[in-house]
């Protein structure tokens, strides 16, 4: 499982893609869960931070929709506003 929050989401997605394309070619993306968490910042203000969980598994066959899922996750991550 790969988990990330905030600006690290893009790096998590890139990591999973690199694993699948270069190192562990039999790894499948079983599930992608996106959400948000309420956080309190150091200055006391409250805000939301995006989260992602990517569940991976070993397998021989590609499941239909895996690449479509990847593209949807990439598009959603690209749409996330960056919070300084």
Whole-angstrom distance, CA of residue 50 vs CA of residue 36: 4
What are the tens digits of pLDDT across the range 10-66? 999 999 999 999 988 889 999 999 999 999 999 999 999 999 999 999 876 544 455
Phi, psi values for residue 83, rounded to 5°: -105, 120
Which DSSP symbol is given to 61?
Answer: S
- Domain locations along the chain: 2-79
CATH code of the domain made up of 2-79: 3.30.110.20
pTM of the prediction? 0.65
Using an 8 Å Cβ cutoff, are 56 and 30 in contact?
yes
């Amino acid at each position: 499982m790969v988990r990330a929050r905030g600006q690290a989401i893009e790096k998590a997605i890139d990591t999973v893609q690199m694993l699948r394309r270069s190192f562990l070619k039999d790894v499948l993306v079983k599930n992608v869960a996106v959400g948000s968490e309420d956080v309190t910042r150091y200055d006391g203000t409250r805000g939301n931070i995006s989260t992602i969980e990517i569940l991976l598994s070993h397998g021989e066959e590609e499941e239909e929709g895996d690449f479509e899922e990847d593209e949807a996750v990439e598009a959603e991550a690209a749409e996330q506003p960056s919070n300084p």
